[in-house]
């Protein structure tokens, strides 16, 4: 069974082309096998012709390799940036209390040697509330790398902080762009709600320009029934009203939109974090807000 799907549907007067991918591996497998649509066959393919300066990658093949195995160049810098944001948050950490029991996940040797009947370490079953974050990983062609990187790092810090606060986080990454009344929408299931944030896996999709400027461009080039209009511009990143319309989101749902729409600067990560956290806080209880000290 293939790990991807494609369908089309109308939303009002907009025609939506919708891809879903169950994993990075399924996405990369599709991109390697898919054929270029004839609308893109008459000129240079942006996924391959993009410069190294624009995409931070030597080629489409190299970009897919980086995506598959993790982008290691600068990874330590990302971890440091995520930790800086998390340290600046004024949050209540969910305590991970344990107790002694007849059964559990680990033995207590000391209790066993003392003859106690409660020789196992256990912890109470906690029903964690679910937080769903929708994030459009797309951005404009003139978006500088610093702002792309900052938004990704802050989003990862937010997801990790919410997990520390006792939430399950469903991070729903997608790309949505449009040309006239034609919308291209792709979803990526890269993190399950009960799965902890994996910085190594999410680094490339959230922080590397080639995620959009090589991989997503290649997806557009191979999508069914594309038109010459798409070949000319590869689409405009969708903003909040269009995203809410397609996804059916309400005012209390958490949406991380384009970098430009949030007015991120990429210079002061904490100033940018405050802007992104304001988007996340609309879906959190009053006593569980992401607030900087």
Domain segments of the chain as ranges:
4-92+126-288
Is residue 224 within 8 Å of 38, Cβ to Cβ?
no
Per-residue pLDDT, 184: 98
Q: Six-digit token pair at 276?
A: 């992104």
Per-residue pLDDT, 76: 84
Per-residue pLDDT, 136: 97
Question: Distance (Å, rounded) from C-alpha 215 to C-alpha 230?
Answer: 16
Residues 6+ apart with CB under 8 A from 289: 277, 281
Q: Which of 155, 176, 145 is nearest to 19 (CA)?
A: 176
pLDDT one digit per residue (tens) for the chain, 293 residues:
589 999 999 999 999 999 999 999 999 999 999 999 999 988 899 999 999 999 999 999 999 999 998 767 778 888 888 999 999 998 776 555 554 555 665 676 666 566 666 666 665 556 789 999 999 999 999 999 999 999 999 999 999 999 999 999 999 999 999 999 999 999 999 999 989 999 989 999 999 999 999 999 999 999 999 999 999 999 999 999 999 999 999 999 999 999 999 999 999 999 999 999 999 999 999 999 999 98
N-term to C-term CA, the chain: 49
Q: Which residue has the tokens 């511009």?
A: 233
C-alpha R_g of the chain: 22
Category of 247 on φ-ψ map: left (φ > 0), alpha (ψ -120 to 50) or beta: alpha
Per-residue pLDDT, 119: 67
Is residue 70 within 8 Å of 201, Cβ to Cβ?
yes
Q: Six-digit token pair at 188?
A: 């990526």
Secondary structure class of 108 (helix, strand, coil): coil
Q: Is 101 exposed, middle or buried (0-12, 13-18, 19+ CB in 10 A)?
A: middle
Per-residue pLDDT, 229: 95
The pTM assigned to this predicted structure is 0.88
Per-residue pLDDT, 75: 81
Per-residue pLDDT, 95: 53
Per-residue pLDDT, 122: 65
Q: Six-digit token pair at 112?
A: 């066993």
Q: Six-digit token pair at 189?
A: 């299931």
């Amino acid at each position: 069974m293939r790990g991807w799907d494609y369908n089309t549907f109308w939303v009002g007067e907009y025609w939506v082309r919708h891809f879903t991918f169950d994993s990075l591996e399924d996405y990369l497998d599709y991109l390697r096998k898919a054929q270029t649509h004839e609308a893109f066959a008459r000129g240079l393919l942006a996924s391959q012709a993009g410069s190294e300066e624009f995409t931070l990658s030597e080629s489409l093949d190299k970009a897919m390799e980086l995506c598959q195995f993790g982008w290691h160049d600068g990874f330590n810098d990302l971890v440091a940036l995520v930790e800086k944001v998390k340290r600046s948050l004024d949050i209540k950490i969910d305590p991970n209390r344990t107790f002694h029991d007849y059964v559990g996940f680990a033995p207590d040797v000391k209790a066993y040697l003392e003859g106690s009947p409660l020789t196992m370490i256990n912890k109470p079953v906690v029903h964690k509330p679910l937080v769903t974050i929708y994030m459009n990983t797309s951005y404009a062609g003139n978006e500088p790398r610093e702002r792309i990187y900052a938004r990704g790092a802050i989003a990862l810090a937010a997801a990790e902080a919410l997990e520390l606060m006792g939430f399950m986080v469903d991070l729903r990454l997608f790309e949505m762009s449009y040309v006239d009344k034609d919308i291209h929408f792709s979803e990526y299931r890269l993190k399950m709600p009960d799965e902890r944030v994996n910085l190594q896996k999410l680094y490339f999709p959230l922080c590397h320009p080639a995620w959009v400027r090589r991989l997503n461009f290649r997806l557009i080039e191979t999508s069914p029934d594309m038109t010459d209009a798409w070949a000319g511009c590869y689409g405009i990143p969708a903003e909040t009203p269009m995203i809410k319309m397609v996804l059916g989101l309400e005012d209390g749902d958490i949406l991380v939109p384009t970098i430009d729409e949030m007015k991120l600067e990429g210079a002061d990560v904490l100033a940018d974090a405050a802007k992104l956290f304001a988007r996340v806080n609309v879906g959190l209880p009053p006593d569980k807000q992401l607030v900087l000290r």
